[in-house]
Structure 1
Amino acid sequence: MATQTGIIIEAANQPHKVVDNIPRPSPEGRQVLVRCLAVGLNPMYDHHTGMMVNEWPAILGSDGAGVVVELGPDVNRLKLGDYVYSCAPVGQNKFTPFQDAYLAQEDLLFKRGNNISLEDSCTIGACLLTSSICLLTGAGLELPEDGNRAQEKDEWIVVLGGTGNVGQFAIQLGKACGYKVLASCSPSKESIAVRNGASATFDSRETIDAQVAEIKKITDGNFGKMMDASTYGYKVMVKALETASNAKEKYLTSVDSWSPFSTPSSINEHRADLGHLCRPDERDGAQVTSNIGTWIPLLEKHIAAGNLKPLEYHVVDGVGWEQVIQGIRDMEGGKVGKKIVVRTQEE
């Protein structure tokens, strides 16, 4: 079997290591083989515990971008030479991008259009899809199928943590679906929320009561959907929906999929967990995977139209797998305040 280069970890709490003996997979069915040209780094590589890892040694990675170099026999959407990007199903070695070439289901890949660069595309997958699970599934937002923004509604949606990577896409999605978006953030980052489309902001560092009062003041109670992209906003959401919302139907959705919640029965609750992608035997796995396959063509249209824009990012100097390890160190050390992107191979 042909082999290739990539990054492995041999067991929980072990370091990343570059090796050259990774088996090179071959596509089956509707799979394609993608030559990895760049990756975006996310704070989800929990090699300290082995969470989400299916096999050891493990090949990690989530956001990857590259070019299609081999097709499975049933592929009908993509062709050789297509530039693509995606969020990989973490923990499944053949499908993760920290290697020269990786497999992907064709319906779970975005085609890269001319209006975004290779590096741009590495900032989109995981964060946009997580916000989509929250808002399209959890809060019932409807994304126009033609790629145009929906006509603005006289209704607000509230996004907590609006300047984080997931929160920025949540603001953009909310606006594309026609809502006025109120975002929480620190005052020093207000411009980020506004740049992404927020109509107003409030201070996420204030007390729960102060935040709820500000939500009520800005929206006049005309909201019923809230999303927490920060994992710290559950109590704010519950209190705001219970005491400040005039809506008959109320929705609470969060990227926190692990903490114990005790949401009142009057509020619809949904937790987003992209880790269920391509895990059909797990809770919500088949539905999450099916939904993402349905959304991607719609999201592509909104990206092409400029309604959904890439995040700002920092590119690590150099090209290669050692640079990816350096990027992970920089991310874990908090040295960079933006999404980190690394080129892995020359085109």
Structure 2
Amino acid sequence: MKSIEIRETGDPSVLYLVERPSPKLTGPEDILVKLAAAGVNPIDTKIRQRGPMLPAGFPAVLGCDGAGVVEAVGDEVTRFKPGDEVWFCHGGLGGPIGTYAEYMVLDNHLAQAKPRSIDMIEAAAAPLVLLTAWEALHDRARLHEGQRVLIHAGAGGVGHVAIQLAKAAGARVCTTVSSSEKASFAHSLGAEYCINYQEENLVESVMEWTEGQGVDIALDTVGPAVFRQTIPAMAHYGDLVTILDPGPELDLKEARIRNLRISLELMLTPMLRDVPRARVQQGEILRRCAKLIDRGDLRIHVADRFSLDQAAEAHTLIEQGHTTGKLVLTPS
């Protein structure tokens, strides 16, 4: 089968299109999936730059998101049969298992039935960002109806689904964007107020929108500088969540005075530390998101699709940092 692997760290040129033996079922609870598409995420570019996150190391097939059709099932699999359409977030952190390939074998409990109302391309783009946004808002920040929520980079992969999840929960949403086009996109997703961070002061804009109270919840998807800038925009006793390392140089005096609850979100933890209970919870999140999608309350925006041999182009776009929504790779 065709796959994209890395044998060393480096720029996008280290992404090699290779032929590998097609994987086989190895356990009674495994399923073999013929992949229709794989999502491309910033974590893929970081692993390419810094190296695998798991001991299996090189060579590594990247890709955490996937969607496809079940081709074969193990003797003890009752949840799926050949021909079923599935989506999942699994692999891609080190070693041969990843979704930048034509086939993948995984435990059937790690896959879920694909939402009926979207195609494989959209489904493959969704799991990692949906899990990240859901865990950040619902599990870390304890989102509830009526709260005011700030989503940074609302036109990005995590941001564009976070806006919709917050809106679906009955929250009022503002977001940061870099252009009027991205503001229009964010408004179409349910954002009430957009802040052009290149032209407007974040704290002043948030305080104007919240009548001087600050936001109840903020989700940082950008990095340390934005994390620090967001603290004075928070309401007292609010929840500030970041999906990135906030960095070593943190002055938390204002956060302490505001009595903020600060949370770190990494949806990869169940894969990195083998936490079965968390994998079950993530499966339930995907099931809930599938219902929202099929109900029309959540959509996945795919900005562009590339073939496997164009993986380097997709990585280059991701690293430029201006992609709207998600990018996807297809086997052909």
TM-score, structure 2 normalization: 0.85
- Name the one with the larger helix percent: 2
Which of 120, 123, 131 is the aligned partner of 1:121? Answer: 123
Name the counterpart of 2:102: 100
Question: Partner letter of residue 331 of structure 2?
Answer: T
Name the counterpart of 2:31: 32
Deviation at residue 273 of structure 1 after TM alignment? 1.4
Q: Is the 8 A contact 1:88 1:96 kept in 2?
A: yes
Which of 158, 161, 186 is the aligned partner of 2:150? Answer: 158
Task: Measure, in 2, the Cα distance between the counterparts of 1:184 and 1:237.
Answer: 11
Q: Is the 8 A contact 2:51 2:57 kept in 1?
A: no
Local SS of the residue matching 2:203:
helix
Deviation at residue 92 of structure 1 after TM alignment? 4.2
Local SS of the residue matching 1:40:
strand
Task: Measure, in 2, the Cα distance between the counterparts of 1:159 and 1:293.
Answer: 24
Local SS of the residue matching 1:133:
helix
Task: Measure, in 2, the Cα distance between the counterparts of 1:337 and 1:215.
Answer: 23
Name the counterpart of 1:149: none
Local SS of the residue matching 1:310:
coil
Local SS of the residue matching 1:122:
helix
Matches within 5 A, 1:40-59: 40-45=39-44, 46-53=47-54, 54-59=56-61
Deviation at residue 222 of structure 1 after TM alignment? 6.6
Identity of aligned residues (%): 23
Deviation at residue 212 of structure 1 after TM alignment? 1.6
Distance 1:341 1:32, change over 3 A: same
Deviation at residue 302 of structure 1 after TM alignment? 0.7
Deviation at residue 181 of structure 1 after TM alignment? 0.8
Return 46-55 or 154-163, whichever deviates more: 46-55
Cα deviation per residue 1:228-280 (whole Å; 9 max; x = unaligned)? 12224212321122xxx2x5x42110111362345444211111113323233
Matches within 5 A, 1:66-85: 66-85=68-87
Task: Measure, in 2, the Cα distance between the counterparts of 1:86 and 1:18.
Answer: 23
Cα deviation per residue 1:20-50 (whole Å; 9 max; x = unaligned)? 2346142525432211121222222232320
Return 252-261 or 156-165, whichever deviates more: 252-261
Return 28-37 or 127-136, whichever deviates more: 28-37
Return 192-201 or 106-115, whichever deviates more: 106-115
Task: Measure, in 2, the Cα distance between the counterparts of 1:211 and 1:130.
Answer: 23
Matches within 5 A, 1:1-347: 4-13=1-10, 15-22=14-21, 24-45=23-44, 46-53=47-54, 54-93=56-95, 95-141=97-143, 153-188=145-180, 189-206=182-199, 210-220=201-211, 221=213, 223-231=215-223, 232-241=225-234, 245=235, 249-257=237-245, 259-260=247-248, 261=250, 263=252, 264-265=255-256, 266-280=259-273, 285=275, 288-316=278-306, 319=307, 321-329=308-316, 331-332=318-319, 339-345=326-332
Deviation at residue 288 of structure 1 after TM alignment? 4.2
Question: Partner letter of residue 302 of structure 2?
Answer: E
Return 305-314 or 26-35, whichever deviates more: 26-35
Task: Measure, in 2, the Cα distance between the counterparts of 1:138 and 1:177.
Answer: 15
Q: Pairwise CA RMSD of aligned residues?
A: 2.6
Deviation at residue 309 of structure 1 after TM alignment? 0.3
Q: Structure 2 unaligned runs (5+)? A: none
Q: Is the 8 A contact 2:37 2:68 kept in 1?
A: yes
Deviation at residue 214 of structure 1 after TM alignment? 1.8
Distance 1:159 1:333, change over 3 A: closer
Question: Partner letter of residue 36 of structure 2?
Answer: L
TM-score, structure 1 normalization: 0.82
Question: Partner letter of residue 75 of structure 1?
Answer: V
Q: Structure 1 unaligned runs (5+)? A: 143-152
Local SS of the residue matching 1:278:
helix
Distance 1:68 1:93, change over 3 A: farther
Deviation at residue 305 of structure 1 after TM alignment? 0.8
Task: Measure, in 1, the Cα distance between the counterparts of 2:178 and 2:312.
Answer: 30
